[in-house]
Amino acid sequence: MNNKTILLTGGGTAGHVSLNQALIPELKNLGFNVEYIGSKDGIENELIRESFPSVPYHAISSGKLRRYFSTKNFSDPFRVGAGLMQAVAIIRKTKPVAIFSKGGFVSVPVVMAGRMMSIPVIIHESDVTPGLANKIALPFADHIFTVFKETLAHVPSSKSTCTGSLIRSELMEGSAIKGQEICSLDNDLPVLLIMGGSQGSAMINSAVRNNLERLLKQVNIIHLCGKGNYMTELDHHSNYRQFEYVTHELPHLLHLTDFVVSRAGSNSIFEFLALKKPMLLVPLSMQKSRGDQILNANLFEKQGFAHVVEEGQLSADRFMEELERLQTDKEQLITAMTQAEAPITAAEMAKLVAVHTK
């Protein structure tokens, strides 16, 4: 044990946490102590405390970075300021050899505090273009890792490295048998996994449930519907399984799955790619996001890994048409995915992070 500490930060969505979850055990294997800075109410608090109860979790104040007008835009800078001072205190106490940031609004004061205190700051960007938090943090970073080669055009090239995607080891160790034990599906129809992100997607949920009777004649459905979207009145269907959210079960469910309908968050779509799952992507629209999922989805479609339908075009009938096309093109999509670059392992990523510690 070298007794050197690395501070991880990132939150707001599961996508800003999952890479950190993969890195924690690998950094520990390299002999580092790991501690986490997140928000009090963000999803990162629940995910990190549940997955790694022995990892110290420091909750700080954070404001939300909005691209639209809100009265909270006037008070949030004070929350960011408070978070900055809290981050400074945590850094003084833990004396880290590096800060690794996965983005999300909670990471901004942590990155700023790290630069103020001459701690090496490492940023990871999963999307084609940097999110707002990472865009603000770029000047404070000592090194930037990207998933997409295209991202290098949007970040300082002199301090950036494209690593490709990182896949959690537990994902590859998933078991279709365990997935079946979780779902207890009683027929041999193909399995369709529906994912709408950690909060779920009202539009995807509606497209599935409005077609449910037709769909269940063709496929078994595993529906990750998002918190607050569970419908108990649908539980009588023998080949429809719904979950508000899953964590440790997801690798097993993915190994059981034949097709996926999902949002286009970078972490998720690269996991589908690694497992060679034909996917229909429904990216968040420009009205609901900065367009990062649209860019992700379009790149995957261009490479032949996925079919894409715009959110605004996802009617009940269009959903059925696209699902039929997905099934027809299954082998073509899988063939394209087998030619993709191999993902980096969490152990390899941890070693890259270690290079940039002080």
> Residues annotated in the binding site, as ranges?
13-15, 168, 198, 293
Structure tokens at 351: 């070693």
Q: How far apart, in Å, do the first and last CA atoms of the chain sit? A: 16
CA distance 163 to 125: 10
Rg (CA), the chain: 21
Three-class secondary structure assignment of the chain? CCCCEEEEECCCCHHHCHHHHHHHHHHHHCCCEEEEEEECCCHHHHHHHHHCCCCCEEEECCCCCCCCCCCHHHHHHHHHHHHHHHHHHHHHHHCCCEEEECCCCCHHHHHHHHHHCCCCEEEEECCCCCCHHHHHHHHHCCEEEECCHHHHHHCCHHHEEECCCEECHHHHCCCHHHHHHHHCCCCCCCEEEEECCCCCCHHHHHHHHHCHHHHCCCCEEEEECCCCCCCHHHCCCCCEEEECCCCCCHHHHHHHCCEEEECCCHHHHHHHHHCCCCEEECCCCCCCCCCHHHHHHHHHHHCCCEEECCHHHCCHHHHHHHHHHHHHCHHHHHHHHHCCCCCEEHHHHHHHHHHCCC
Q: Which residue has tokens 């999300």?
A: 104
Cα angle vertex 160, ends 306, 116, to 5°?
A: 125
Question: Which residues are annotated binding-site positions for UDP-N-acetyl-alpha-D-glucosamine?
Answer: 13-15, 168, 198, 293
Q: Which residue has tokens 């339908």?
A: 309
Is residue 104 within 8 Å of 78, Cβ to Cβ?
A: no
